[in-house]
Structure 1
Amino acid sequence: MRLHRPSVSAVAAVLVSSLGIVAYHHTARANSAPASQASSVVHDAAASGPGRSSAATVPPGTTASPRPEIPTRLPGLGPTTLSHVPADARQVVLVTGAARDSASSKAVLYQRVDGGWRPGPVWAAHNGYKGWTDDHHAGDLRSPIGVFGLTDAGGRLADPGTELPYHRSRAFSAGGSGFEGEPLAGSFDYVVAINYNRRPGTSPMDGAKPMGANRGGGIWIHVDHGGPTHACVSLSRTHMKQLLRALDPAAHPVVVMGDAASLAR
């Protein structure tokens, strides 16, 4: 009796059929997975966003980088300074002077998230010509050290998109030259009033000084003109617009400002 040998095409058809059965069963098992497993897959995918790594995307033989830690307290601040930061403040502009008598400083916007303080980028800044003081008086050319509310904004130019009350006026004008001969024009195109010796909830142009005129006032965060200020804090035009767009009255923003040694107390 002569055995019949199946053709190559017949064998291939059987293999394709078998593979189809295996594929079907694999798909059926996946489709019939419990809802809890399906939701966990979605959760894992969502958790693999910026700054996070899922196991599926880590190359073989490597270890996933740990998620960056968010500081639980504002860095560089000592217990005395921290005690003056309001409990409901969820935005802090931290301005740290290079030294007590220096007009150079840096500013960082911190946002309260996940039980910690998430920092923004570091921005170069200027402060008072003679540095910082715990006892500011009009004309001393030093910026006051302390924690102050940020409730009101304004400027010569249109509102760039801030949530703070914004007063646009041509009265926000500056002329002449700064301490290093730099032109002051445009310095008040955008300002945020620092609540030192002023009435919160009013235009930055409001002239009321509750502690008296001799204690100074009109201290703002404004556009940097390339040199020291009389007592204000200044940021680049780009960073001023970013700050204005970020500040949220509902987050009760404050500025914490002073030289590094004083803030560490």
Structure 2
Amino acid sequence: MITHRPRAAVLLAASLLLTGCGGGATAASGPATAAAAPEASAASATPGAPAPSLSLEVATRQIPGLGPRTLAAVPSGARQAVVVTGQGKNSPRSTVVLYRRTEAGWQAGESWPAHNALRGWSDHHMAGDLHSPIGVYGLSDAGGLLRDPGTKLPYDHGVGFTAPGTGFEGESLAGSFDYVIAIDYNREPGTSPLDWTRPLGAGRGGGIWLHVDHGGPTHGCVSVAEEHMKELLLALDPALRPVVVMGDHASLAR
């Protein structure tokens, strides 16, 4: 278990309404190793027994909907990919699918509804721009207000994950950070999601997470229903070097 530093937790709580996950989300959410963007890294996870909703379907050689540039950004060693596909460049709605690479190719789990940032997507995310960053990023660390459900990812449990206030549509953010998975955009992998280190500088934002959906757009994160967040936590395995591939449909197809 990671023990988050009190200073980091206080700084994050104070800044949630300006960057990252402070905006909240409710239906779904979700980057990792960097070829599509300079700010990336990787990780992944999978439990002993797959959850029913993650049952595998027909394998494909490549992940559907990803174009040559996006595919080139997916690390060759990655065996799990959480694909977040936005409905449009300016839309706060998206879908999330967990893919697993096998000898037969990439196999898809179920498709889950999700939310992303209020103003959609950007390939040059900045702090407070209310866009989710497009790219391929590692999934290295997790945490939450609730206790570790049994994930193989390092998990930081504590009150620093309390989500205050309301979202863009007046919905309560309570419980949004019950479970979170840090997206390795402008952060130091191997640290708590609450860690404040920003390798690209504070101006490029940070605190981009997969977290529990609260029923509305986020500030930059990807959010899915709590049951699906728990399934992701149980499925992702660092040994499989999991990544998140995220962006609107047109951008991912490039």
| TM-score of the two chains, using structure 1 as the length reference | 0.74
The whole-number CA distance in structure 1 between the counterparts of 2:72 and 2:102 is 19
Q: Note if 1:130 corresponds to 2:128.
A: no
The aligned amino acid for 1:229 is: T
Higher helix share: 1
- TM-superposed CA distance for 1:175, in Å, is 1.2
- TM-superposed CA distance for 1:115, in Å, is 3.1
Deviation string 1:90-113 (CA, Å, 9 cap, x unpaired) is 000000000000000000000111
Counterpart for residue 192 of structure 1: 181
Unaligned runs of 5+ in 2: 1-56
The whole-number CA distance in structure 1 between the counterparts of 2:194 and 2:177 is 11
Identity of paired residues, percent? 64
- TM-superposed CA distance for 1:69, in Å, is 3.9
The aligned amino acid for 1:158 is: R
Counterpart for residue 222 of structure 1: 211
Aligned CA-pair RMSD: 0.7
Counterpart for residue 73 of structure 2: 84
Q: Which runs of 4+ in 1 moved over 6 A?
A: none
Q: Note if 1:243 corresponds to 2:232.
A: yes
Q: Note if 1:101 corresponds to 2:85.
A: no
The correspondence of residues 25-174 of structure 1 with structure 2, limited to 5 A, is 69-174=58-163
Whose Rg is larger? 1
Unaligned runs of 5+ in 1: 1-67
- TM-superposed CA distance for 1:114, in Å, is 2.3
Deviation string 1:30-58 (CA, Å, 9 cap, x unpaired) is xxxxxxxxxxxxxxxxxxxxxxxxxxxxx
Deviation string 1:66-123 (CA, Å, 9 cap, x unpaired) is xx74111011000000010000000000000000000000000001112301100001
Give the secondary-structure state (helix, strand or coil) at the position aligned to 2:195. coil
| TM-score of the two chains, using structure 2 as the length reference | 0.77
The whole-number CA distance in structure 2 between the counterparts of 1:229 and 1:161 is 26
Match of 1:180 among 169, 172, 185: 169
The whole-number CA distance in structure 1 between the counterparts of 2:131 and 2:106 is 28
The whole-number CA distance in structure 1 between the counterparts of 2:238 and 2:123 is 27
Q: Which has the higher contact order (CA 8 A, sep 6+)?
A: 2
Q: Note if 1:204 corresponds to 2:193.
A: yes
